[in-house]
Amino acid sequence: MTTLFIGLGKMGGPMARQYAAAFNTTLYDVGPAATQLADELGVRALETLDTVPEEIDTVILMVPNSRIVESIMLTGDRLLEKLPEGALVIDMSSSVPTSTQMLAARAAEHGIGYVDAPVSGGTAKAVTGQLAIIVGGEPTAVERAMPHLEPMAGSILVVGPSGSGHAAKALNNLLSATNIAAAAEILTISTKFGIDPAVMVNVLNASTGRSQATEVKFPKHILTGTWDSGFGMDLMIKDLGIARDLAAETGTESPLTATTFEIANTARETVGGELPDHTELARYYELRNDITFTPSQ
């Protein structure tokens, strides 16, 4: 049997390379990426999803958002109607949890397993097959999905029923963005006081204020002025919106969530550009305060 891997962008492309080394794989993307990668890997590419080869029994989705997932599965390509009973769908996109719950229920009506398995770790971990994969779904479907996730994973974390993987991913990215904003604010104050940003980052990392933002993102992508983590600001803001909506749906009072979402959207307007990196949330503080985090030479 064969897996159909849909979505071959910055994350999906390297993930598919890892996956195709372990499983029979057919590729699909709306652009030319599928044909190019298929030629490189020696596998098949589909030009459309109008028909699905009968040997396809597993689908992996790595696309930008729930709207596209729903179009592929229900309203546009109608993939749920084309897959055989007993098939398995693994949505590794960063999707809206309530949409995932709806799709899982619809898949069950067709006798199809549905698992949400979003990832964390960026393109660097996608290339090495060391992503953190956050999994939600019905236990039997999750068990079936595990061998498919292992070629791409450094760790696999099962968190609960359908939609919970996507909820946990959005909440993780909310904390990640909050950490960047908080660290940038601290560094702005310290820089204006006269402390070299690199020195202040060292202080934070030796103290209780450290986070993944100060330990990785500031040294690698912000203090260097490269802004090149590989995860876009627009995707980050999408995840922040999912987290904000989740807070509202659960009736949670969450002022920090609202503040981070507002800061990120203001930063997006301030930074501009077509595809800014999510680490440019820190550049917003530079621009608004007429400073630079690039260390003095």
Annotated catalytic residue: which of 169, 192, 217, 238?
169
Helices (H) and strands (E) in the chain, counts: 13, 9
3-class state of residue 102 by DSSP: helix
Q: Is 10 a catalytic residue?
A: no
CA pair distance 87, 10, nearest whole angstrom: 27
CA pair distance 133, 142, nearest whole angstrom: 12
Nearest to 178 by CA among 251, 232, 258: 258
Nearest to 232 by CA among 276, 184, 178: 276
For tokens 């690698």, what's the residue? 220
* 137 phi, psi to nearest 5 deg: 155, 175
3-class state of residue 8 by DSSP: coil
Facing residues of 120 across strands?
132
CA pair distance 132, 136, nearest whole angstrom: 13
Active-site residues, by number, are 169
